A = this chain, B = another copy of it.
Amino acid sequence: MSNKQQLLSFLMNAEEPISGEHLSEQLGVSRTMIWKYIKSLKEDGHEVEAIKKKGYVLKQLSSQLSVETVSPYLETTHFARALYYLESCPSTQFVANELLVKGKGMHGLVVVSEEQTAGKGRLNRQWVSSKGKGLWTTWIVKPDLLPHEAPPITLVVALALAKAIHSTTGIQVDIKWPNDLLIDGKKVGGILTELQATPDKIEAILLGIGINVLQAEEELNQDLTKRATSLAIECDTPVDRTKLLAAMANELEQAITTFETQGFRRFQVEWERHSTMIGKKVTATTVRETIQGIALGLNEHGALLVQTGDGVRTLFSGDVTLSGKLDTFS
């Protein structure tokens, strides 16, 4: 942690004003340096007040996501330790890809943008990412996995996100195979996994993760054929994007590390508990066909097993809805 980050961390945890002298001792730097760090924190958008004869107080954290604001909540070694923040970009996947091409895409780096002007979901579908209202992110992951072991990672990530949202807001999140996060049947987030690999080695996985956080009802559901929600709609208390981003980093790093060493089997039971689909009649549309049957569960590769009249079918990806319901997601 840099001195500036440490200073912010002290201020965040303090219950009363901290004197410049005390900070100077704690960090082992001059009073002048402390004054410079405080100035720099203010420039980042933090409200720091200097109370005469008492010291500094943090009145309000910057709402801008940054390494400084996120790191006090991190329990990770790599995830979100590098944070690439943008006001706007075409899509965070695009930016992450550019960083990789330039050789700057280290493991655990997260790209966060306040807005995406060309955000994409699965199958190139549009993903609305309105300014400042969500967490629009791409995480660069270079896991210790062979390429053929990678596919279930989307499901592992979905579980980690459900946990991160639950620990931050108390909300129970369901998972819709393979890559959607739902609250009471309404979409609150999604995952777009992009693999870059040679036959021997995963070069990188780009985890595109979008979470609706602060949108109001009327912003989300102008198109009545889709049902979406945000954490703010579902939660009584205000949702802190900074804490949520840190919780995502913590859960992602832990889950992916476990997946590397123990594989998907370790997640199977927990995953099925978060799914609303297992044991029910479903309609599944893949890139090639539409089938109907009973969703039996997942195999060890994370593929969905569907019992049809012609036997058990194995789906690697697709859109699955409970039969008889409208397909309300895109």
Contacts and interface: CB of A to CB of B under 8 A. Distances in A.
Nearest to A196: B196
Interface string A87-100: 00000001001100
Interface stretch (A19-27, A143-151, A242-250): A143-151
A199 B203 contact: no
A203 B201 CA distance: 18
Interface in A76-108: 94, 97-98, 101
Interface stretch (A41-49, A62-70, A126-134, A187-195): A187-195
A71 interface: no
Interface string A196-235: 1111110100000000000000000000000000000000
Interface residues of A, number: 29
Contact of A146 (B178, B179, B193, B316): B316
Contacts of A287: 146, 200-201
A78 B324 CA distance: 44
Interface string A292-330: 000000000000000000000000111000000000000
Max count, chain B CB within 10 A of own CB: residue among A123, A200, A287: A200
Contacts of A94: 101
Contacts of A265: none
A122 interface: yes
Contacts of A316: 146-148, 199
17 contacts: A98-B101, A101-B101, A122-B198, A122-B200, A146-B287, A147-B151, A148-B151, A151-B199, A154-B199, A192-B198, A193-B198, A193-B199, A194-B198, A195-B198, A196-B196, A200-B317, A200-B318
